[in-house]
Amino acid sequence: MEQLSFSDLETSLRRKTRKTRTERLTERLEKLVPWSDLLALIQPFYYESGRRGRQPFPLELMLRIHLLQIAYNMSDPQMEDFLHENSTARKFVGLALADRTPDESTILQFRHLLE
């Protein structure tokens, strides 16, 4: 497990009075979506890591971004901004605050891969 940053720790220690809509949605998606089945279905068509150049984002991260994008009916630029602004969305897809976020063209390429 990765070491927590100060901002991750502060966020996790904050007490909330209620859950946000995004938190409720991500909890439902976590329970309802058969992640391992979908990943196994897409894996043969996804980019290989270990090659030269910039490494692709993990498949599960991109799939989670895609499902959030569908759930919120967002464009690719909107999804990129949403990931920068919403800590619950970042946590759901598996991005820490210091991690690089996929840009809109990466999100677009993944959607085209699924089509």
Q: What is the 3-state secondary structure (H, E, C) of the chain?
A: CCCCCHHHHHHHHCCCCCCCHHHHHHHHHHHHCCHHHHHHHHHHHCCCCCCCCCCCCCHHHHHHHHHHHHHHCCCHHHHHHHHHHCHHHHHHHCCCCCCCCCCHHHHHHHHHHHC
pLDDT-derived band at 69, boundaries 50, 70, 90:
very high
Residue 107 lies in a domain: yes
Q: Give me the number of domains the chain comprises.
A: 1
| Mean pLDDT over the full length of the chain | 88
Instruction: Give the range of the structural domain holding residue 98, as residue numbers without chain letter.
Output: 20-46+56-114
Residue 40 lies in a domain: yes
Residue 11 lies in a domain: no
Residue 4 lies in a domain: no
Residue 6 lies in a domain: no
Residue 94 lies in a domain: yes
> Which of 16-25, 76-85, 103-112 has the lowest average pLDDT?
16-25
Residue 84 lies in a domain: yes
